[in-house]
Amino acid sequence: MHERALFFDRDGTLIVHRPYLADPDGVELMPGVRKVLHQFISDGCLIFLFTNQSGVGRGLFTIDAVHHCNQRMLELLALPAPGFTEICIATETLEMPQLYRKPSPRFILEMIEKYSLAPQQTWMIGDAFNDVMAGLNAGVRAAMVHGVEKQKLPAGVLRCGDFEELYTSLPHEDADRRFLTQ
């Protein structure tokens, strides 16, 4: 079993948030993301991408445009194998029946089952409240990084200013959780 599994939001977390981004030329990595994702992978973590893209559901752009932007992000990240283990693109709008759209935990729960992930060492990491809630709804841990939301976070959610802080904080947090659950 892998030590740790990390689910990352895309917009505002891995790349600069540009509303309804559909142009690969607009993809710009957030500071520290490339280096820290390389470190997580070399540490043996499994990483997943979990992104809401309601612009597809609204008909503002196609799923291919999302794939092209993701491809550009992957080029910039240049991750070692295995890179992202799986990528989930939730295309529903708020008005549609929602299966995967965060805060739905469905994708995380499916990956826990498929890869035998340990929930206490699985993290959902994002910049928005819906990211955090997807993690908590799945029964895993949650961290907010680059968060701009002022609202109070639920107890136990880790708040990090940037990816360097995330990288140094997670091992202690995992250890705390093991202690608490013994």
Residues in touch with Mg ion (CB under 5 A): 9, 11-12, 127-128
Q: How far is the CB of 102 from Mg ion (least distance, A)?
A: 9
Nearer to Mg ion, 26 or 44 (CB): 26
Is 9 or 92 the residue whose CB approaches Mg ion more closely? Answer: 9
Q: How far is the CB of 93 from Mg ion (least distance, A)?
A: 16
Residue 53 C-beta: closest distance to Mg ion, Å: 11
Nearest to 147 by CA among 137, 133, 132, 168: 132
Q: Which residues contact 97 (CB under 8 A, 6 or more apart)?
A: none
Shortest spacing between CB 3 and Mg ion, in angstroms = 25
Minimum CB–partner distance for residue 17 and Mg ion (Å): 6
Choice between 80 and 161, CB closer to Mg ion: 161
Q: How far is CA 16 from CA 51, 108, 133, 153, 165, in A?
A: 13, 23, 21, 22, 18
Task: Report the relative pairing of strands 46-52 and 84-90 from DSSP bridges.
Answer: parallel
Give the dihedral sign, CA 52/10/70/27. positive
Residue nearest to Mg ion (CB): 12
81 or 148: whose CB is closer to Mg ion? 148
Of the two residues 92 and 127, which places its CB atom closer to Mg ion in the complex?
Answer: 127
Residues 6+ apart with CB under 8 A from 135: 7, 105, 108, 123, 124, 125, 141, 142
